[in-house]
């Protein structure tokens, strides 16, 4: 009921101000006037509770308000300078209540005058400044006013000849981010109140106000990534403190490469108490292997691999493996093919010797970089996440070498169902765990986490081996401009965390006092960046490439709006939401189409996008012409579907044996005025496999031929009822090709799905469109 209470309180104030305006010409009201319009019975209260509710709200105000250190310093300077100084406020709190509120924020505070708009029946935009000047006998030209509301404080002061100074609390851009974060919070954490955050936003406003004149990348670090990393740092410290209280000798290792930024944040506040250690899944898996199974698991996740990369991983050249690669074009095979064949290509005893060498070199490296490694009882491994694969491999390595040190994973994001096999005595926990958001949400965040990885990452390639204290790394193919961008973002993060540590005590704020609240807001802030980026962020981050590593030096794009659009054309919105990588930043690719697309994707990831609403429903059939290479032609009836957004989608399946050269699509039969969103083609061994194929080809607009249709960009208009669009059909090697056409009819006439009275799909239907007039026949009904 807390959410309902807040909304009814807001509505009561709106009603009270409306009535006040009608009666007196001013919207000024007291708190008691507001609660007169509150629905007491709904909350099992009598109207006698009005006074109590007003007092309780004032008590909450006293608890939540904080003094702005900059303002109080300026106020006291002016008092010391002999100026008459006071406060003028637009508020429903009376003058006496306002006085209590001020002294609660700053005990001992004094003033020469105090004005509350509700006691004067007029606000600063109306006549309150006039009353102040008259009562105080002050010349307007010698008066100076500071405020944060441009209309009331600045324009209102100027209207009366008072000199103003504008002190904004948050920029429009930051306020927009806050609004989106609240929307994300309420979507990702639906059962939790979004109005209290232990002062985290107040702190962000204060820090951001002092960091305005910087680059967009630095600003992103300050306003968005900084608060997330600060919450993560507090989470790591809580884990360390809990272990220390139990008497453990704790060491901390931040796992490279994307553990670099968390390490830099930790180092800035805790000095050299944590080590940055470059251990990745590849090295740890090979080092922990006593069978071929871990190596096969690693290889199965590699997209493409060649013999040189395989040798770099395992440090040997088995002849059978070399012969395996020789059978493939250019010596490049898929990791899955190699993993399936490897048990027949290598003697399992070979991996034992390889693993022993990797273990020895890895442990020697750790002993150099982690202080007092052999004497620590507990080692915290810090990483972005997600399934603790490095931690599990390192546990197996420790066990094989007789090292009893307990391992504790401290992760930003976790796939918690992967932790059931964590060794007894060890632990793994995430700041944003399944206790904070649902598994559906978690997988959506991790699907888009490549952006975060790149921003947190070091500017060096992944570790592939060790030589003493030296790390041997893969080459890094990322552009220099991208590395510079990430460095600038990280600088903003460090600036935020440093300034926040300084300002939080001055504002009496404890944003991480409640770990559950801090975790939920970290999820909302990070989720907003990953899922609902604004246009400035898309421009700033859209060019970033993700280095895949593990067998390839390829760079995968983060953004690809055209790919998402083609997916929607070919397979529909819901299927596009499950598209595999690349693009690595799928939510950003949706956002590049439109903010609405990004929000729909977010709804899908939160399990709130109903397939019944946003899926497809058949709305009729249409006859299309198929012209073969031998000059023969035929008419084929195809199904027409409409989507949840009102678009039309037509799928035209073709068999290779049909030898079709051109498809004649009678667009005028659908609509005389519309938008053509695109035409795609998918291939497969069967119609089902073609429909599921996410590798679709787009038919370029320039290859389409108009017959009785005028096109301008995506817009088309048919000159008559026989307007056609001719689509070329290229030869294909698979058995089936599916051509999909997506369009929107601009006659704004809702096209309904066809079904019988029992809700079943009609076996046949014929639709004929004539602009806004449509006739349909359904089974004679």
Residues 6 or more apart whose CB falls under 8 angstroms from that of 165 comprise 144, 145, 146, 147
Of 225, 746, 198, which Cα lies nearest the Cα of 456?
225
Burial label, 121 (beta-carbon count in 10 A; 0-12, 13-18, 19+) = middle
CA distance 209 to 167: 9
What local confidence, expressed as pLDDT, does residue 553 receive? 62
User: Is 601 in contact with 567 (CB distance < 8 Å)?
Assistant: no
To the nearest 10 degrees (0 to 180), the angle between helices 260-270 and 226-245 is 70
Question: At what angle are helices 515-531 and 595-605 packed, to 10 degrees?
Answer: 130
Residues 754, 411: Cα–Cα separation, whole Å: 50
CB 2 within 8 A of CB 193: yes
Q: What pLDDT score was predicted for residue 49? A: 95
Determine if residue 607 is left, alpha or beta; phi over 0 gives left, psi from -120 to 50 gives alpha, anything else beta: left
Contact, 369 vs 410, CB < 8 A?
no
pLDDT of residue 550: 53
Cα–Cα distance for residue pair 726/96, rounded to 1 Å: 78
| Beta strands in 480-533, from DSSP E residues, in sequence order | none
Q: What is the largest CA-CA distance in the chain?
A: 100
Q: What are the residues facing 638 on neighbouring strands? A: 622
CATH assignment, 65-166: 3.40.50.1000
Q: Which of 136, 141, 147, 133 is nearest to 161 (CA)?
A: 141
pTM metric for this prediction:
0.89
For 550-578, give the DSSP string: SS---EEES--HHHHHHHHHHH-HHHHTT
Task: Using alpha carbons, list the distances in angstroms from residue 751 to 178, 610, 775.
Answer: 38, 19, 11
Element holding 427 (H helix, E strand) = strand 427-432
If you search the block for the tokens 């599990």, which residue do you land on?
Answer: 392
DSSP string, 724-752: EEEEE----SSSEEEEEEEEEETT-PPPP
Residue with tokens 């982690």: 370
Nearest-CA neighbor of 445 among 183, 184, 219, 177? 184
Question: Across the strands, what pairs with 635?
Answer: 625
Q: What per-residue confidence (pLDDT) applies to 720?
A: 87
Residue of 283, 340, 282, 337 whose CA lies nearest to 305: 337
For 191, 438, 524, the CA distances from 517, given in Å and listed in that order, are: 12, 16, 11
User: What residues does each domain of the chain span?
Assistant: 2-63, 65-166, 175-226+493-541, 293-345, 563-612, 615-777
| CA 104 to each of CA 66, 69, 172, 479, 614: distance values in angstroms, whole numbers, following the listed order | 9, 14, 30, 54, 53
Phi, psi values for residue 763, rounded to 5°: -70, -25
Burial of residue 177 (number of CB atoms within 10 Å: 0-12, 13-18, 19+): buried
Peptide bond into 667 cis (omega under 30): no
As averages over each run of 10 residues, the pLDDT of the chain (781 residues) reads: 91 98 96 97 95 96 90 92 95 97 94 96 95 94 93 95 89 91 94 89 90 89 97 98 94 96 97 94 89 84 83 82 92 90 88 90 96 95 95 96 97 95 95 96 96 96 89 90 97 97 92 96 98 97 83 78 94 92 94 96 94 89 95 94 92 95 94 94 95 92 94 92 94 95 84 57 40 35 27
Tokens encoding 754 = 């066809």
What tokens appear for 316 in the block? Answer: 């040997």
């Amino acid at each position: 009921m807390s959410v309902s209470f807040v909304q009814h309180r807001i509505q009561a104030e709106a009603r009270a101000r409306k009535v006040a305006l009608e009666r007196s010409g001013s919207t000024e009201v007291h708190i008691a006037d507001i609660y007169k319009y509150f629905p007491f019975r709904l909350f099992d209260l009598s109207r006698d509770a009005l006074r109590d509710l007003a007092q309780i709200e004032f008590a909450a105000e006293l608890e939540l308000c904080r003094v702005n250190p900059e303002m109080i310093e300026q106020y006291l300077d002016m008092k010391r300078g002999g100026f008459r100084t006071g406060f003028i406020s637009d508020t429903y709190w009376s003058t006496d209540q306002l006085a209590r509120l001020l002294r609660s924020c700053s005990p001992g505070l004094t003033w020469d005058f105090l004005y509350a708009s509700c006691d004067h029946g007029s606000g600063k935009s109306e006549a309150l400044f006039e009353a102040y000047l008259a009562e105080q006998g002050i010349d307007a030209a010698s008066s100076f006013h500071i405020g944060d509301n441009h209309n009331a404080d600045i324009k209102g002061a100027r209207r009366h000849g008072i000199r103003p100074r504008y002190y904004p609390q948050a920029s429009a851009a930051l306020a927009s981010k806050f609004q989106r974060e609240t929307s994300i919070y309420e979507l990702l954490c639906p059962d939790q109140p979004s109005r209290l955050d232990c002062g985290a936003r107040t702190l962000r406003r204060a820090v951001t106000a002092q960091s305005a004149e910087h680059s967009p990348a630095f600003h992103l670090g300050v306003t968005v990534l900084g608060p997330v990393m600060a919450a993560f740092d507090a989470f790591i410290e809580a884990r360390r403190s809990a272990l220390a209280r139990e008497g453990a000798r704790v060491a901390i290792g931040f796992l490279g490469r994307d553990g670099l930024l968390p390490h830099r944040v930790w180092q800035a506040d805790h000095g050299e108490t944590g080590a940055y250690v470059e251990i990745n899944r590849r090295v740890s898996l090979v080092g922990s292997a006593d069978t071929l199974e871990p190596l096969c698991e690693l290889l199965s996740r590699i997209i493409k691999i060649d013999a040189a990369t395989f040798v770099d991983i395992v440090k040997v050249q088995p002849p059978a493996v070399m012969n395996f690669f020789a059978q493939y074009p250019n010596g490049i095979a898929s990791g899955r093919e190699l993993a399936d064949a490897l048990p027949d290509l290598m003697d399992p005893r070979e991996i034992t010797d390889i693993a022993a060498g990797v273990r020895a070199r890895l442990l020697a490296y750790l002993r150099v970089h982690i202080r007092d490694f052999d004497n620590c009882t507990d080692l915290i491994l810090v990483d972005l996440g997600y399934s603790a694969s490095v931690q599990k491999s390192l546990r197996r390595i420790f066990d094989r070498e007789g090292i009893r040190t307990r391992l504790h994973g401290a992760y930003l994001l976790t796939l918690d169902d992967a932790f059931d096999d964590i060794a007894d005595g060890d632990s793994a926990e995430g700041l944003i765990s399944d206790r904070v958001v649902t598994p559906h949400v978690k997988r959506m965040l991790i699907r888009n986490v490549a952006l975060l990885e790149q921003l947190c990452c070091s500017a060096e390639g992944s570790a592939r081996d060790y030589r003493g204290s030296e790390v041997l790394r893969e080459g890094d193919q990322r552009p220099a401009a991208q590395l510079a961008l990430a460095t600038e973002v990280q600088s903003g993060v460090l600036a935020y965390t440093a300034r926040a540590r300084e300002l939080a005590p001055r504002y009496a704020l404890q944003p991480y006092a409640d770990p559950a609240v801090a975790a939920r807001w970290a999820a909302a802030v990070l989720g907003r960046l990953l899922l609902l980026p604004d246009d400035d962020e898309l421009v700033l981050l859209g060019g970033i490439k993700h280095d895949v590593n593990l067998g390839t030096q390829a760079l995968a794009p983060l953004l690809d709006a055209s790919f998402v659009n083609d997916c929607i054309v070919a397979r529909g919105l819901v299927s596009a939401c499950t598209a595999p990588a690349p693009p690595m930043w799928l939510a950003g690719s949706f956002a590049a189409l439109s903010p609405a697309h990004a929000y729909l994707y977010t709804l899908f990831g939160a399990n709130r996008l109903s397939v019944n609403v946003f899926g497809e429903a058949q709305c009729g059939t249409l006859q299309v012409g198929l012209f073969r290479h031998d000059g023969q032609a035929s008419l084929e009836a195809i199904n027409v579907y409409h989507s949840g957004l009102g678009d039309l989608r037509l799928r035209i399946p073709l068999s290779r044996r049909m030898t079709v050269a051109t498809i004649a699509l009678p667009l005028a039969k659908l609509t005389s005025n519309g938008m053509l969103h695109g035409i795609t083609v998918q291939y497969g061994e069967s119609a089902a496999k073609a429909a599921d194929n996410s590798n679709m080809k787009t038919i370029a607009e320039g290859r389409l031929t108009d017959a009785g249709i005028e096109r301008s960009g995506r817009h088309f208009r048919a000159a008559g009822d026989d307007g056609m669009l001719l689509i070329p059909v290229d030869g294909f090697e698979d058995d089936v090709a599916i051509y999909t056409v997506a369009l929107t009819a601009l006659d704004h006439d809702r096209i309904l799905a066809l079904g019988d009275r029992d809700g079943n799909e009609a076996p046949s239907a014929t639709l004929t469109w004539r602009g806004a007039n449509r006739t349909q026949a359904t089974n004679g009904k």
